[in-house]
Chain A
Amino acid sequence: MLTPDELTAVWLSAKVALSATLLCLPLGIAVSWLLARRRFPGKVLLDVLVQLPMVLPPVVPGYLLLVVLGTQGVVGAWLLERFGITLAFTWKGAVLASAVMAFPLMVQPVRLAFGMIDRRLEQAATTLGATPWRAFFTVTLPLAVPGIIAGAVLCFSRSLGEFGATMAFVGNIPGETRTLPLAIYTYMHVPGGEAPSQRLAWLSIAIAFVALLAAHGISRRAERLLGYRSHADP
């Protein structure tokens, strides 16, 4: 059905999107919690910074990543010299570009979920001998699971579709950074590429569809387990 080149692009996309989601999860949970529950100087700035990739043209974050983390960049040169790590024009760089672009989509639902949890539940936990950390892991975090699932799926789906920042930061290298959208774009520009572009486009739609359906099912199940009641009309 798919040629080896197409398959490579699909697997690379899955690898990049999954890694980006795993990268965003812990950081996204921490930042969402800070934004939902804490007051601190510079909070508005952090909020704006987190949302920024969503409103910028995607090439701009990609360009900035290249300037900072490219082999000639301040941080990039140091990473290469000190640890021998290269991000620009590698699949790890594609993960980073996807993560930066998808991060706002992770933060929004998780932050909303934290905001909706009654703080007196956490207080109840501390009056029963739980330290604030333990109250977070036994009460707050489990109650936020439906929001975290929603955030992870949005993050994964956004990462699958990442194009602009990836192109700018890591280019379009077959087998290394040519993910699904880049492969489709490439096929569109070569003679006889209509059929593969179409196949990959349909595949993208199918993957997105299945991911959203799965997320819907999982979060419904999580809500039921957590004792949420549906407020929708029967």
Chain B
Amino acid sequence: MLTLDCEFRRGDFHLRARTEIADGVTGICGPSGCGKSTLLALLAGLLRPQAGRIRFADELLADGDTIFVPAWRRHFGLVFQDGQLFPHLSVRANLLYGYRRRAPEARRFELPGVLELLEIAPLLERRPGQLSGGERQRVALGRALLYSPRLLLLDEPLSALDERLKQQILPFLKRVKDETRIPMIYVTHMISEVEYLADRVLPMERGELTNHAA
């Protein structure tokens, strides 16, 4: 359970989020420029809200000027739109980057299981530059999973792919949802992408995220 009541400003842009997000897969849908990526950056700990709180389960992640848990201590996974794989490392080293930084007792997944789940075993020794767009996103997803995240944040993970590839990746996301039960927040401007996956979809517009139903 994620509880948000926070504000973030940069220049003319103003983001206000006031909502509770239950476990499962939550889609956040809105036009480009509405602040979806900023919201994810706030959740991931890459940006700091100027006011208000962010709470995950019973842990306070941000509270005004007093509390701010940085990205590297949140144990959330973030999958970027274009993967952002480390170009100087092999696929294997990319996959294990977060895994190695997680305490052994906190690890929930091992490499073989994730390779099988995402069907990326044949890519292990390649470099990110030698991967197709769809392969890259699967590796990015695997890298986030191997970090055993408490929450998985997906920032338009399919928008760089064509329709055919989207249809290929969606089943993998569904599999991740069903088999890992990690809560996910999936941000997109295409509601069709997330309907298939999400337990609920929240609309976001002009920097406003509120859940009237809650």
Contacts and interface: CB of A to CB of B under 8 A. Distances in A.
B72 interface: yes
- Most chain A CB within 10 A, of B70, B80, B88, B97, is at B88
A129 B72 contact: yes
A14 interface: no
A124 B74 CA distance: 13
B147 A129 contact: yes
A227 B129 contact: yes
Interface string B71-98: 1101111101000101110000000011
A121 interface: yes
B71 A126 contact: yes
B68 to A, nearest CB: 13
A227 B101 contact: no
Given A120-B80, A124-B80, A128-B98, A227 B70 contact: no
A194 to B, nearest CB: 51
A213 B46 CA distance: 42
Nearest to A121: B84
Contacts of B46: 123, 126-127
Nearest to A226: B88
Given A120-B80, A227-B128, A130 B88 contact: no
Nearest to B81: A120
A126 B70 contact: yes
Nearest to A120: B84
A82 interface: no
B88 A127 contact: no
B44 interface: yes
Contacts of B55: none
A132 B30 CA distance: 31
A125 B97 contact: yes
B127 interface: yes
A123 B144 CA distance: 13
B38 to A, nearest CB: 13
B76 A227 contact: no
B72 A227 contact: no
A139 B86 contact: yes
A198 interface: no
Contacts of B77: 127-128
Contacts of A142: 88
B86 A129 contact: no
Nearest to A131: B72
A126 B147 CA distance: 12
A135 B77 CA distance: 16
Contact of A127 (B78, B86, B87, B102): B78
A191 to B, nearest CB: 57
A190 interface: no
A7 to B, nearest CB: 41
A223 B86 CA distance: 14
A127 B129 contact: no
Interface string B100-115: 0110000000000000
Contacts of A229: 129
Nearest to A132: B72
Nearest to A139: B86
B189 interface: no
B143 A226 contact: no
- Most chain A CB within 10 A, of B71, B74, B77, is at B71
7 smallest A-B Cβ distances: which pairs? A128-B98, A129-B101, A227-B87, A227-B129, A126-B71, A226-B88, A127-B78
Interface of A: 118, 120-121, 123-132, 138-139, 142-143, 225-229
Given A127-B45, A129-B147, 12 more contacts: A123-B44, A123-B78, A124-B78, A124-B84, A124-B86, A126-B46, A126-B72, A128-B101, A128-B147, A129-B75, A129-B102, A228-B87
Interface of B: 41, 44-46, 70-72, 74-78, 80, 84, 86-88, 97-98, 101-102, 127-129, 143-144, 147
7 contacts: A123-B78, A123-B84, A126-B72, A127-B71, A128-B144, A128-B147, A129-B72
